[in-house]
A and B are shown apart, each in its own frame.
Chain A
Amino acid sequence: MSPRRLLWLLAVALPVCLLAAVMLGAVRLPALDVLAVLVGRADGMDRLALIVRQLRLPRALLTALVGALLAICGAAMQGLFRNPLADPSLIGVTAGASVGASLVIVFAGGVAGFVGLSLVSLGAFAGGTAAVLLVYRLATGPGGTSVATMLLAGIAIGALAGSVGSLLEFYADNEMLRRISLWRMGGLDGANWPRVAIVAGVSAVIFFVLPRQADALNALLLGESEARHLGIAVDRIKRRLVLLTAAGVGVSVAVAGAITFVGLVVPHIVRMLIGPDHRWLLPASALAGAILLLVADTLARIVVAPTELPVGLLTALLGAPFFISLLRRRREYGL
């Protein structure tokens, strides 16, 4: 498939998925009424307008933004680490965020949050970014940042965070345990407009800056010294990529918990379709990530309505078999 064609397809599919996500749910809303509300002509449809404006629309937008952030950050990480199997959790974001969230749940259960973000979200964001900064510091010596050391440091920090998490669970009571495990599964049920605004702000920066690193990422795939020989300021680019992906994944973990597989699988699917050129891969991954998470979240809301499944459970359920088939087919895919 030509990259241009895929981008067009995705750009058309995204609004369709957004509309479907707003229409479908415990109560099914007619498409025309939803469109009427969205363009501001909701006379005599107060209840429907309330559902759309206060519940479905912020949730759909948050879902799309988080999906796009996870996928574009995953694509950038895989390029930076020159490893098609890397994902942001590899440098400790998810593990750190999990410890941050668990700490808050166990020690500060009832404390109120801040502009629409619960204290648990803030704990997750702080934990995630702290882990990345620690990994980055560990891997940076006088001779620059070693990507291989970053991977190892990420594994070490992940293991450390895992055992701290287990320790916290050991001391937690039943109610706390349930909240911790629900957080781990991820979910977008906390969506509200302030959260959408925060994520949109971070996304705007990332969607603007990351695609501008596409040429550098392409050169980095050759190897770090080869990229330097092609005139790329490698250390500056690496620092920029690590900070951007940490912020992107950190904020999405903070508002939606640990949603697995989007950052890993989406760039893979896109690469299989159009190749590894980051000039196309980054925007196409962002669009495809938004679509995948919208589909997964809509399914999560309707399969067991009126309650809902955690969306992280669905992305893993959809993603794991795909990933296994990918591992089996990696030879023919050229890896």
Chain B
Amino acid sequence: MLQVEGLTLSAGGRAVVETVDFTLAAGEHLAVIGPNGAGKSTLIHALIGDLVPTAGSIRLAGRALADWPVRERACRVALLPQASALNFPFTVAEVVRLGRGPHASGTVADRDIVTETLAASDIAHLRDRPYTRLSGGEKQRVQLARVMSQIWRAEDAGDRLLLLDEPVAALDLGHQRLVMRQVAALADQGVAVVSVLHDISLAARYADRMLALRDGQTIAAGTPAEVVTAERMQCLFDTETRVITHPDTHTPVVLHG
């Protein structure tokens, strides 16, 4: 569904991401990990068409990303940004409804989708509150609900891609789990997911595959068990760690050394 080949992205004459390759099938979740400044967010922004590749290609459903009309692309690709600039007192439901903007699915269907995504993000009780009065974590969940409403229904668009830039950075432990499970539920319905996550253990728990970047270079790519090793954490983050296997999920868990 998503094919990235030899992708190179430059800013100010310097390559921020260099010759990254991966393919993603419907329903797969790829987690991108790496230290600050490794090019993770840059990669995400290229996948939604904000940045033009210096070299290489991004193909969505067999068609070059740049060739998609913006509106049709918006029906298929949604991005949860790190932070939001919204400072007008929209109600929570109004913010989430904005995600339905690219679709012409009608008021009734849109209202149902807003209700469903609010429930999925555990913010149904905030429905009529002004967005500007929410806490950081609540705002993050409202934005997630907005982004999910954009790609909620398979009948709107078959090939759907969800991009998450640090989706759980502002959330408490319980809501981190809730959000990641909701993302997994979307993936089960055929949505391909690319996420940037700083919590390696969380990424390993929920992603099908991982991509480790440092200075824009691919350090490792593969299943969580293949990517997450103590040596690789040393190489990526320049710090001592221990990697153990979770007794229940059998996914790698990173402990501080």
The secondary-structure label for the interface of chain A is: loop
Does B89 lie within 8 Å of A222, measured CB to CB? Answer: no
Q: Which residues of B contact A84 (CB under 8 A)?
A: 87-88
- Whether B73 is near chain A, meaning CB under 8 Å from some CB there, is yes
Selected contact of B88 from candidates A215, A233, A276, CB within 8 Å:
A276
CB distance from A74 to the nearest CB of B (A): 14
CB-based contact B102/A231 at 8 Å: yes
Contacts of A232 in B (CB 8 A): 70, 101
Q: Is residue A275 within 8 Å, beta carbon to beta carbon, of the partner chain? A: yes
CB distance from B169 to the nearest CB of A (A): 17
- Which range contains the number of B residues in contact with the other chain? 20 to 34
CB pair B98 A223 closer than 8 Å: no
A window 198-254: CB within 8 A of B: 215, 218-219, 221-223, 225-226, 228-233
Q: Which residues of B lie under 8 Å from residue A333 when comparing CB positions? A: 89
| Complex Cα spacing A335 to B85, Å | 12
| Residues in chain B near residue A82, CB distance under 8 A | 85, 87-88
Which candidate, B16-24, B74-82, B223-231, B245-253, is the interface stretch facing chain A? B74-82
Taking a contact as CB atoms under 8 Å apart, the answer to whether A233 and B98 are in contact is no
Whether B98 lies near A222 (C-beta < 8 A) is yes
A189 at the interface (CB under 8 A from B): no
Q: Report how far A223 CA is from B133 CA in the complex, Å.
A: 18
A334 within 8 A of B: yes
B73 neighbours in A (Cβ, 8 Å) = 231
Contact across chains for A215 and B101 when beta carbons are under 8 A apart: yes
Chain B residues near A225: list those with CB within 8 A: 50, 81
A231 surroundings in chain B (CB, below 8 A): 70-75, 101-102
| Complex interface: chain A residues within 8 A of B74 (CB) | 229-231
Asked if residues B75 and A275 are in contact (CB atoms below 8 Å), the reply is: no
Nearest neighbor of B72 in chain A, beta-carbon distance: A231
A220 CB, min distance to chain B CBs, angstroms = 10
Whether A277 is near chain B, meaning CB under 8 Å from some CB there, is yes
Using a CB–CB distance below 8 Å, which chain A residues touch chain B? 82, 84, 215, 218-219, 221-223, 225-226, 228-233, 271, 275-277, 333-335
> Would you list the 9 A-B pairs with minimal beta carbon distance, nearest first?
A231-B74, A334-B89, A231-B71, A231-B102, A334-B130, A276-B88, A334-B132, A223-B85, A230-B101
Given contacts A231-B102, A335-B132, 8 further A-B pairs with CB under 8 A are: A221-B86, A222-B95, A225-B81, A230-B101, A231-B74, A271-B88, A276-B89, A334-B89
